[in-house]
Structure formats: structure tokens, C-alpha cells
Amino acid sequence: MIITKNYRLCEWSGGAIMVEPESYGRCPVCGNTNLKYRDYCRRICREIDDVTKCYIVIRVKCVRCGGLHRILPDFMRPYGQYSEKAVHDVVSGRVHAEEVIEYPCNITMSRWKNKNH
Ligand SMILES: [Zn+2]
């Protein structure tokens, strides 16, 4: 998995948003910069109160070690569906549990706080 700060967001069919990285960066396994486009996959990203957006992220293959890596924009968290901003708002106390109507659930929010993200 490669996280990038430099990307463009483009409209995609079905209301999805394409994440188009300016460059592929380097392989997180072996450091090689020769990465080839492989394919793309869908990935959802949720905000507080279940505003869910669907993104198209691309996968690249490392020519040297053969590793497959998704290129994610920096507002996504590598594991977990909620955005960096959603987690930050809860952990920092900007959003209080009582204000959240439905999602994320209280268990999820306290897990974020305890992990001290
Ligand atoms: Zn590699």
C-alpha cells in the first residue's frame, strides 16, 4: 500500500470518484520506483453519520519484487473505512458521541480514542 499526497480526484461512472495519483512513488517492500499500472478497485470511505463515498483506487505492480500495491490518497486510512478526518474529529473531541446520530457506533468511537490515533 502506498499513501500519496499528490493526486487528482475525477468523476467516475456511477457517482464514484477516481483517485488519480500524479506519480506512483516507490514500492514499500523493496523501494523500487519502477511500478506498472495493474488495475483498479473500488473502496468506500465513510464520514461521520454515514456519508459514504465510493472511490476508485488504482493498483500497481512492482517490476522488481512483483508486489501489488494500492495507491491511496492521504485522507483515507489504510485499514478501516472511515476517513482520517472522521477519526480525528472524534479523537480530538470536535465531534461528541451524543452528536452522532447513527454512525459510527459508540464502540467504534471508543476504540479510536483508546488507540490514541
Ligand atoms: Zn518491490
Distance (Å, whole) CA 27 – CA 64: 9
Residue type, 25: G
CA 24 to ligand 1 centroid distance, Å: 12
| Confidence at residue 78, expressed as pLDDT on a 0 to 100 scale | 81
Neighbouring CB atoms inside 10 A of 113's CB total 14
The pLDDT, as a whole number, for residue 16 is 94
Q: Find the 25 Cα to ligand 1 centroid distance in Å.
A: 11
pLDDT score for 101: 67
Question: What pLDDT score does 73 carry?
Answer: 95
Q: What is the pLDDT of residues 43-54, one digit of tens each?
A: 999 988 778 899
pLDDT of residue 93: 87
- pLDDT at residue 117 tops 60: no
Q: Which residue has the higher pLDDT, 33 or 105?
A: 33
- Give Cα 11 to chain centroid, integer Å: 17
How far is the centre of ligand 1, averaged over its atoms, from the C-alpha of 104 (Å)? 36
Q: Could you tell me if 77 and 1 are in contact, meaning their C-beta atoms sit under 8 angstroms apart?
A: no
Q: How much distance in Å is there from the Cα of 88 to the middle of ligand 1?
A: 32
- pTM for the predicted model, two decimal places: 0.77
Ramachandran sector of residue 49 (left: φ over 0; alpha: ψ -120 to 50; beta: rest): left
Please name the amino acid found at residue 6. N
Cα 55 to Cα 53: distance, rounded to the nearest angstrom = 6
Spatial contact of 35 and 25, defined as CB atoms under 8 Å apart: yes
**Tens digit of pLDDT for each residue in 54-109?**
999 999 999 999 999 999 999 998 878 889 999 989 899 888 777 776 678 888 88
Quickly tell me which residue has 467516475 as its cell. Answer: 12
